[in-house]
Amino acid sequence: MNYKLITSATITATAVLSVNPAIAADDNNIIVTATRTAQTVDDSLASVTVLTSEQIEQQQANDVPALLNGIQGIDISNNGGLGKATSIYMRGTNSSHVLVLIDGVRIGSATLGTVSLQDIPVSQIERIEIIRGPRASLYGSDAIGGVIQIFTKQAKSDQVNASVGYGTLNTTKLSAGFNTVKNNNQFSLNMAYLETKGINALKTSDPDEDGYTNASVSANYKHQFSKKHWITATLLYSEGNNQYDDSYTATNVLQADFSQLAAGINYAVAATGNWQINLKASQSQDNSDNIKNGSPNGSFNTTRDLFSWQNDFTLSDSLMLTAGIDYQNDKVNSTTQYDKTSRDNKGYFVQQQWFGNSNDLIAALRVDDNQAFGNHTTGNLSWGINLNSDYRLIASYGTGFKAPTFNNLYYPSSGNSTIKPEESKSYELELRHKFSNGHWNINLYQTKITNLIVYPAPTYQVTNLDKSTIEGMEVATTLKQKTYDIRAQLSFIDPTNDNTKKVLPRRAKRSLTLNINENTGNWRSGLEIIVKSSRFDNTNNTTLLPGYALVNLTSQYTLSKNWKLRGKISNLLDEQYQTTSNYNNEGLGAFVSVHYSGN
């Protein structure tokens, strides 16, 4: 690895990605999530997948879960179509074991402990970095299965853009925005709207259409004071309405008004030639107001204030030291009466990166001091060795934890204020091979989780009872051949509850994704095949959901310099499948859109 080049990139622009990750979008080969500093995908010692803006456009997905469903190591469960409650399982861990960031801002519900991925608008996304494996040593709680970082759109040149689309289920998408770059200022503003009448979410309820709307805005601003210091600000806000079916109250008319916010302001300065300082203040909100038969039926609102101070020291051409402090305050405002409605967490982290000619080593340590449960220490160690110019072997070990949620600790009748954090230990071995027109990698991993939080019958009082062992293998390859771009991903996983010897629910043991994209002249077309094996829907493994195969077709035609026409056929085979028991998924669908971009 040429560490001088990475250090230079860190000092000039991408180092600030620890506080403003959006800047990384200028180079699809640069990532920041794995180490909180800039590095190339090839040099990373983590298992990484990057969805670029081109790939996101190619997929033409209407929501984030559809973007992620074909990624190796990821499983999705959905409660009835576009906009409905969706859970993500990374490498077999729980849906609450994945940390999600938007432009470096931690998002999610402090009561449920999960993220409403279905409400993050795809129209606002520039790029997504997916890191598999624990990263608690850098980010603290939640990052047991991995980290997903979403980057919103940013200004690269003066440009105006707009699009309009329509498809099956009366699905309508509108978007518009502009970018401007003048002197030392960059500004981007984008707005989007999505509406669908939806499908009948619950299979056994009276047939009805459960609609969904989402209106959003994003903004990015950067001012460069000099080559050594600059300030950036980011914003993503979305709000809408979700009509849904609940299996417990199938005859009632249920809906929720929701909103999400991720906003931050960042200041970066090169204090000396070898010392970079990044300061960040941000806030995220996750709000939900439930409505039952036209009347209010409870609200759950999370406000999360975050502050970060990160220091990157370039000690030599082969050594970088990162150290910093994170502060987080979670506040809950709800119609449910919690015993406590706020808590603080302070995280202290240090990371050493060493890069040699043939060997790379990263070691990280973090201590979290939480107001609710005290101190928790996590660490990570990764070693990469170049076997020759084409092969690389990487071995990693990491620990993680999941902090108890407000529901776990303080929910009336079932909460337990003495509950402990869930804890994990993960081991991974990866072999990578690069060749002239592509690459492949094989990953073997094992994760052991203890103190899993459960609500056992008959009291349903929350407790740390279960433990699990998850073992898996992932194989991925990319091949570029003339006008074709081919990607294949294969995952095998064995997620087991150690106490009951049962398979953890809603995880498919086997999955395969194949993407074939072709670019010829003004045409760009794509084929996506996603195959998932059967899964159990409950902990006792008595409810089996059959496997399924999805075939999606996409096409784009460049009408002129400024105009493009896109179309997609999703679920071409009209597969009738479920990822959550008794909840339908969308069948055969089509969507057409027109896009404009120009100066």
Residue 491 in this model has a pLDDT that exceeds 60: yes
Give the chain's domains with CATH numbers: 3-598 (2.40.170.20)
Phi, psi of 57 (to 5 degrees): -65, -40
Q: What is the pLDDT of residues 235-288, one digit of tens each?
A: 999 999 999 988 776 678 899 999 999 999 999 999 998 999 999 999 999 999
Using pLDDT thresholds of 50, 70 and 90, give the confidence band for residue 599.
confident
Taking residues 51-77, report their average pLDDT.
95
pLDDT of residue 13: 39
Position 250 scores a pLDDT of 64
Region of residue 566 (left: phi > 0; alpha: psi -120 to 50; beta: else): beta
Following DSSP, what letter does each residue of 528-546 receive, concatenated?
EEEEE--EESSTTS--EEP
Rounded average pLDDT over 489-514:
97
Backbone phi, psi, residue 324, to 5° = -170, 180
- What average pLDDT does range 183-203 have in this prediction? 95
In whole angstroms, what separates CA 23 from the centre of its chain?
18
Per-residue CA distances from 17 to 268, 316, 342, 401, 565 (Å): 10, 21, 29, 24, 34
For the stretch 548-594, pLDDT in tens is 999 999 999 999 999 999 999 999 999 999 999 999 999 999 999 99
Assess whether pLDDT exceeds 70 at residue 2.
Answer: no
Tokens of residue 210, six digits? 């459960």
Between CA 74 and CA 86 the distance in angstroms is 13
pLDDT band (50, 70, 90) for residue 457: confident
Evaluate if residue 440 carries a pLDDT over 60: yes
Predicted confidence at residue 207, as pLDDT, reads 76
Given a cut of 50, whether residue 15 has pLDDT beyond it is: no
The closest alpha carbon to 240, from 292, 289, 300, 302, belongs to: 289
Prediction pTM value: 0.95
Asked whether 516 and 484 are in contact (CB, 8 A), the reply is yes
Q: Which residues of 135-169 are buried (b: 16+ CB within 10 A; e: fewer)?
A: bbbbbbbbbbbbbbbbbbbbbeeeeebebebebbb
The pLDDT assigned to 249 comes to: 64
Please report the DSSP string for 28-86 in residue order. Answer: TTEE-TTTSS-EETTT-SSEEEEE-HHHHHHHT-SSHHHHHTTSTTEEEEESSSTTS-E
Closest to 134 in 3D by CA, of 366, 408, 409: 366
pLDDT score of 7: 42
Structure tokens at 355: 């890069």
